[in-house]
Structure 1
Amino acid sequence: MNPRENTRCDTVRRLFAAYVAQHPDLVDPMLTEDFTFSSPRDDHIDKKRYFEHCWPKEKVFRDIHIEHLVAEGDDVIVGYRAEKMDGGSFRNVEMIRFAGDRIAEVNVYFGRSL
């Protein structure tokens, strides 16, 4: 992995840590101004809608365990297992596209409940 890919993997780790800790203020500078987020429930929503819709108002996650983290070029693919406060857990995969050192696009692929 080259130094830029290492930096991008570190950014993804910080993104997930901020999500668990509920610190969107740490994430906003990681994202490009024209950032988009897509999932089976969201189709290319913008940054404002992402923070309104995708960031829980109260603590939902106990932890997120990154199981796979692969960087190639402008893309980082991350597979993870999320543990919810209510005891439930699930796996997801995300493809995160970078523009320079900032996240330009996130595509989430939902997994099954565990």
Structure 2
Amino acid sequence: MSTLDTARCDTVRRLYAAYVAQHPDVVRPMLTSDFTFSSPRDDHIDRDQYFKHCWPKEKIFRAIHIEHLVPDRDEVIVGYRAEKIDGSSFRNVEMIRFTGDRIAEVNVYFGRNV
């Protein structure tokens, strides 16, 4: 794995840790100014909408366990299991595209409840 791949994987780990800890201030500098986020519920929303719509207002996650982390050129593919405070959990896959050392795009593919 190249140094850039390692750095990008570390950025992805920090992204999920900040999400669980509810620290959007840690994530803002990780994103490009033209960042977009897509999921089955969101179609290429910009970074402002991402923070308004996708970041929980109250703590709902106990943990996010990264099960797969695969760098592939300008992307990092992530498979994870999220544990919610209420005891439920689910799996998702995300493709995170980088421009240099910053996250330019996140595409979420919803998995199933476990």
Q: TM-score range by the shorter chain?
A: over 0.9
| Equivalent position amino acid for 1:69 in 2 | L
Deviation at 1:44, TM superposition (A): 0.1
Q: 1:113 maps to which residue?
A: 113
SS at match of 1:32: strand
**Which runs of 5 or more residues in structure 1 are unaligned?**
none
| Same amino acid, percent of matched pairs | 78
| Equivalent position amino acid for 1:62 in 2 | R
Q: 1:22 maps to which residue?
A: 22
Deviation at 1:53, TM superposition (A): 0.2
Q: 1:12 maps to which residue?
A: 12
Indicate yes or no: 2:43 matched with 1:43: yes
Q: 1:31 maps to which residue?
A: 31
Q: 1:80 maps to which residue?
A: 80
Deviation at 1:74, TM superposition (A): 0.5
Q: 2:104 maps to which residue?
A: 104
**Which runs of 5 or more residues in structure 2 are unaligned?**
none
SS at match of 2:110: strand
| Equivalent position amino acid for 2:98 in 1 | F
TM-score (norm 1): 0.99
Task: Count the aligned residue pairs.
Answer: 114
TM-score (norm 2): 0.99
User: Partners of 2:82 and 2:72 in 1: how far apart?
Assistant: 24
SS at match of 2:87: coil
Indicate yes or no: 2:35 matched with 1:55: no
Aligned residues: CA RMSD: 0.3
Q: 2:66 maps to which residue?
A: 66
